[in-house]
């Protein structure tokens, strides 16, 4: 792989958009569900579309919407969304050979549209020795457009369907997090931290119903257990 300054060409942007087309098909139903959930919580079409355009984080949006109330739990929802999206802080450095050499809007726009799907596609490109960072932006920019459009369509669909509370459609939020856990599992060494996180989360979900604090507290408990486990292993080594 070349170690020079990566290019950011129009050709790579278009290639990224083209290569991501199969992934975009999978984004549409997720966006529709998010739009339906936003409509069910009373958000207008403009508010739901603006939320998707600015937040652009499906799991975080569903998490916030699942606990939506009036007044909105801004602090708790914000912290919970932050915890859910911490994985992006681990994903970004993997693309360091591309991102570290970008400057200005190219860097910030690429980071804004980076999601799990186009990140995986970009890692494959980088490992194949391709050195044009426009691929990440092109695939992500198209995904952003598809996400915003599909959530807007979902809002319109929700206004037509008006699914009642407890409808199976709203299981999507939990399904998303279960799917994320599957790819994060690294083996038996994760069992104890995950068990602690689950136990603390379930406890505080009962103690603090209707809030998102159980996610934050569960994540902190699980992370703390993982740190303790690793430090203990280093001490005994």
Most confident segment among 92-106, 137-151, 199-213: 137-151
Residue 44 has pLDDT above 60, yes or no: yes
Q: What is the pLDDT of residues 190-202, one digit of tens each?
A: 889 889 989 998 9
Contact in structure between 233 and 225 (CB atoms under 8 Å): no
Q: What is the pLDDT of residues 2-42, one digit of tens each?
A: 445 568 899 999 999 999 998 888 889 889 989 998 998 88
The residue-averaged pLDDT of 59-77 equals 77
- Check residues 168 and 204 and name the one with the higher pLDDT: 204
pTM exceeds cut of 0.85: no
Q: How far, in Å, CA of 201 to CA of 195, rounded?
A: 10
Task: Give the rounded percent of residues in the chain with a pLDDT score beyond 70.
Answer: 86
Among candidates 63, 120, 121, 70, which has minimal Cα distance to 91? 120
The residue-averaged pLDDT of 95-104 equals 88
Per-chain mean pLDDT for the chain = 84
Alpha helices of the chain — where are they, by DSSP H?
10-19, 21-40, 45-55, 58-66, 74-84, 87-91, 96-99, 105-112, 116-127, 134-161, 172-184, 191-207, 213-236
What pLDDT is recorded for position 78? 79
Residue 110 has pLDDT above 90, yes or no: yes
Burial classification of residue 183, based on how many CB atoms lie within 10 Å of its CB (0-12 exposed, 13-18 middle, 19 or more buried): exposed
Contact in structure between 193 and 167 (CB atoms under 8 Å): no
Contact in structure between 17 and 124 (CB atoms under 8 Å): no
Residue 176 has pLDDT above 70, yes or no: no
């Amino acid at each position: 792989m070349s170690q020079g300054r990566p290019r950011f060409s129009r050709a790579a942007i278009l290639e990224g958009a083209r290569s991501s087309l199969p992934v975009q098909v999978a984004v549409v139903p997720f966006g529709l569900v998010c739009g339906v959930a936003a409509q069910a919580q009373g958000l207008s079409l403009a508010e739901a579309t603006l939320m998707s355009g600015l937040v652009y984080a499906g799991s975080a949006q569903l998490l916030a919407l699942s606990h939506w109330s009036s007044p909105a739990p801004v602090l708790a929802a914000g912290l919970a969304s932050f915890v859910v999206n911490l994985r992006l802080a681990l994903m970004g450095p993997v693309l360091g050979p591309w991102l570290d050499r970008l400057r200005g809007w190219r860097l910030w726009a690429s980071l804004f549209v980076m999601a799990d799907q186009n990140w995986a596609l970009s890692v494959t490109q980088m490992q194949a020795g391709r050195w044009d960072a426009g691929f990440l932006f092109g695939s992500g920019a198209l995904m952003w457009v598809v996400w915003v459009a599909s959530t807007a369509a979902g809002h319109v669909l929700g206004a037509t369907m008006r699914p009642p509370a407890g409808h199976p459609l709203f299981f999507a939020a939990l399904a998303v997090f279960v799917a994320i856990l599957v790819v994060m599992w690294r083996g038996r060494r994760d069992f104890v931290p995950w068990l602690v996180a689950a136990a603390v989360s379930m406890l505080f979900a009962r103690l603090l119903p209707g809030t998102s604090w159980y996610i934050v507290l569960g994540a902190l408990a699980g992370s703390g257990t993982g740190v303790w486990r690793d430090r203990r292993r280093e001490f005994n080594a």
